[in-house]
Structure 1
């Protein structure tokens, strides 16, 4: 690895071992499917999502509980419709991942556009780094590829346990990134920001009690929230720019880039987490049915507080 501990895909004979043949088969099927016309890809994804809604009941209950916790004011019927649309988006997202990894720039350009591109361009022209807040929309993989065509950045990366998936994922993501950093490599992230790079960062999941504080998120008063955002902003001195990749009803994908965030409170962990969660809320509300509700966002609780998920809900 380099001084920045950059991660790059390396093909070895180990990846051809018979234990990985099913993985290669799955990737090959995904590749062939995304060669099809987009309307067919969309319908296959929709069907897969509706089927998975029937087959993975525990994940469905996780998503149902998340929607109830975050939007208790909405009628049950409206939340049930959001749940159905979310599973449809989950199915489509599998093929959108293949689109991100395997489509050419030319084919992508026929289906995509960017709104607010100047917000990033102006910061980069000044030489300042950009902390790009890309929360876990189901369209995130594709949105990163779309934006990376004009603004290649540095990806923050969690290695996959399957080495074949890890290799293919890395190759796909490096189509829109200069290099990748392991998610615990804080020094590498800070160095990249100080060097004026655009760094992809997702602070919206529950990463456990270590290096987290509790801050409000929607109607949940105590959501475990990473303190990493404050550290990166305080030490890397970047501009903070959120973005949302949205699948529109006409089949187009639009990446909505928000104006840079001002007056981020870097001196206090809880204030910073509360501030960032407000930004996350605003972005999620742009396309709530396309957010990753299947993740147990509120699994970490303060000591003594009751769990927000029943014991029969699948853990992450």
Structure 2
């Protein structure tokens, strides 16, 4: 049933976006990529703040790259942002059959073996542009809990939650720690992406691409519950579809050293990002929180 709250002029553009998303799922994959890259190239000249953030992040994380190389990677990143419009549409409204045809799955046995044993499972992932579709693809064969941050746009947030729930996901807000721990204690796998700047109160500083970075400490705390295994999971777009890959559970994790644990997580995420750097979420101000009140890297604050 339609929520009357969403019948308001302020949601007109969101309704138009949702309409285009519903239409976009019927476009073949390769055409989606072509159209998405074109959208990204059109966005690039007008998104000064996001473009500046991406440039700063990439230049600091890859100091060996010269300015023209950084600019090329930023442009490729904006193309990936454009493609993510269709990837998000596929996540909310695509059929299982369409998504399955696009999947190449690697090392799924690490996840399946963990499911056979009692205990919690954290599927550890990075914020890549196909992130939403990567979560949706898991639901084709598995029941998981999505740990998510509510969208500022309440209509779009409602569309996201509804799209996942109808495909079997359990949706848990990232602030609802009690429900997250309950899911872990009930051996319900959770899909978790901790690579966001949450500020000093919720983080420890650990190296990420050689930069001391505010890193969420919650991953290690959650992993202390119910014999939890942390399994790195990545979902990357390829020329023919998507590579869904799992790695073996992290050994000896967590330890009693929060900085060591955060460093281990960051090293895993670095490895994932280096595989397809243009698809990572470089427009997030990952390094805004600095140790010892150092000045952040960004032109726009």
1:212 corresponds to which of 195, 203, 211: 203
1:301 corresponds to which of 276, 285, 290: 290
**Pair 1:77–1:19, CA change in 2 (3 A):** closer
Aligned counterparts of 2:2 and 2:111: Cα–Cα separation in 1: 34
Residue 148 of structure 1, CA deviation: 1.9
TM-score, with structure 2 as normaliser: 0.95
Stretch deviating more after TM superposition (32-41 or 145-154): 32-41
Residue 34 of structure 1 corresponds to which residue in structure 2?
25
Long gaps (5+) in structure 1:
1-9
1:52 corresponds to which of 43, 50, 61: 43
Residue 254 of structure 1 corresponds to which residue in structure 2?
243
Query: How many aligned residue pairs are there?
Result: 301
Aligned counterparts of 2:161 and 2:4: Cα–Cα separation in 1: 17
Residue 233 of structure 2 corresponds to which residue in structure 1?
243
Aligned partner of residue 151 in structure 2, secondary structure: coil
Aligned partner of residue 240 in structure 1, secondary structure: strand
**Pair 1:143–1:304, CA change in 2 (3 A):** closer
Residue 175 of structure 1, CA deviation: 4.5
1:223 corresponds to which of 213, 218, 236: 213
Aligned counterparts of 2:2 and 2:220: Cα–Cα separation in 1: 36
Cα RMSD between the aligned structures? 1.6
Residue 85 of structure 1 corresponds to which residue in structure 2?
76
Long gaps (5+) in structure 2:
none
Residue 104 of structure 1, CA deviation: 0.5
Aligned counterparts of 1:41 and 1:297: Cα–Cα separation in 2: 29
Aligned counterparts of 2:273 and 2:69: Cα–Cα separation in 1: 16
Aligned counterparts of 1:174 and 1:118: Cα–Cα separation in 2: 25
Residue 129 of structure 1 corresponds to which residue in structure 2?
120
Residue 305 of structure 1, CA deviation: 1.4
TM-score, with structure 1 as normaliser: 0.90
